[in-house]
Amino acid sequence: MGDVKLAMIVQKPQYKGETSRLAITHAISYQTVEILLEDGDTVTPKLCFVGEGVLGIQKGQNAMELYGITSTESHMKNTLLVDLDVLVCKEDLDRYGIPEDAMPDADEMGADKKIQVVPYAEIQKAMEEAKHVLFF
Amino acid sequence: MKLGVFVSDFKLTVDTLERLTAEKLGLILVQNGVYHATTKENGKSSPLLEKTTNLYALSEDIQIRGLKVADVDKRVKVVNYSDVVDLIFNDYDKIAWL
Amino acid sequence: MGILTIGCYPGLVGNMSYDFCLKLADAAVGKGHKVNIWFSGNATGSIKSHQKHLKDYSTGEKHLQALIAKGVEICTCEACTVARGIQKTEGIEGVQWNAMHWYLAKVHASDRVLLIGGE
């Protein structure tokens, strides 16, 4: 069957419900899915943030200190470490007044991958190219 | 793409839906989404009903709310779970839940 | 016949999206399709056995058992489940326990995927 592309779309803000965090951890699990698949089969998610989903991914989070849980920022760094494509809707960042440089990176952990701030049209394209679309 | 979208809320999903486009878009109104098919706000039908001509509402979720199939906007086809399964497999190649 | 994989995240009690998931699965398997269900988030609380059916609340156990008997594969996210204080010995028989990659593997082989998010 080869590669199956997924578009995982996060449309809810983090730190109230669990769904938006689960989107990130489910996407990261693409790295270990091969143990359950035939040789040559892969799953390739694109993790996309739209609407209110862009609100909770900014740098400087203190979830561990304040609530004893892993921050969304930390999860985002892990997505970059495992080379996931992460797309964030530029129009929605602009709508909420969030600058692009507020997006976290994982440079200090040695990740080459960066969060990509893209027009919504790119996220629509990711949905069209994917076999399955998953809204979180 | 042929995208079938389950709309399960009356208000909360409109923002996401406004931007979604598809070569063929179907809206399957379930749970509180059925109010889009049955309720007029200030005398106006839900703008969602203008989004596509492929509109469905789940019979069980209409009736559980004390609404009647006769209350459903004429543009919306009333379906049951079995019909929904057929829509999923025969009419759309991707499905999403909002 | 096709393969449908449903990711179900809302809790059994407090959200009727869970009920929708089970009814859709039953309808699909009744039409001859293969169905997989992945429980994550609050939905994992529903795999605990010995549920009492009070009429103000939805019930999951007997429906899950019926779906398993019809060949539906049901798997709960182990991390989400133990985080809610539920151990494997307390789970409904026939429900599988695994990690998120179980879900992605089923998605890989599926014709249709429906993710029903929580909240």
CATH class of segment(s) C3-116: alpha beta
The residue of chain B nearest to residue C9, with distances taken between CA atoms, is B97
Residues 2-21 of C with CB under 8 A from A: 7, 9
How many angstroms separate the CA of residue B25 from the nearest CA in chain A? 12
In a domain, B21, yes or no: no
Q: Which domains does chain A have, with CATH numbers?
A: 3-135 (3.40.1260.10)
- pLDDT classification of A62: cutoffs 50, 70, 90: very high
In the block, which residue shows the tokens 């190649």?
A: B93
Structural domain includes residue B20 = no
Each domain of chain C, given as residue ranges in start order, spans 3-116
Q: How confident is the prediction for chain A on average, in pLDDT? A: 97
Interface test with B, best of C22, C112, C113, C119 (most B CBs within 10 A): C112
C115/A18 touch (CB, cutoff 8 Å), yes or no: no
Contacts made by residues A97-103, CB under 8 angstroms, sequence distance 24+ = A98/A54, A98/A55, A98/A58, A102/A58, A102/A59, A103/A57, A103/A58, A103/A59
Q: Assign residue B57 the CATH number of its domain.
A: 3.40.1260.10
* Helix (H/G/I), strand (E/B), else coil: B1: coil
Q: What is the mean pLDDT of each run of 10 residues along chain B (98 residues)?
A: 97 86 98 97 95 98 96 98 98 97
Q: Summarize pLDDT for C35-92 with one digit per residue, the tens.
A: 999 999 999 999 999 999 999 999 899 999 999 999 999 999 999 999 999 999 999 9
Q: How many domains does chain B have?
A: 1
CB-based contact C117 B97, cutoff 8 Å: yes
Q: What is the ipTM of this complex?
A: 0.95
Q: What dihedral do alpha carbons B82, B86, B89, B94 form, nearest 10°? A: -90
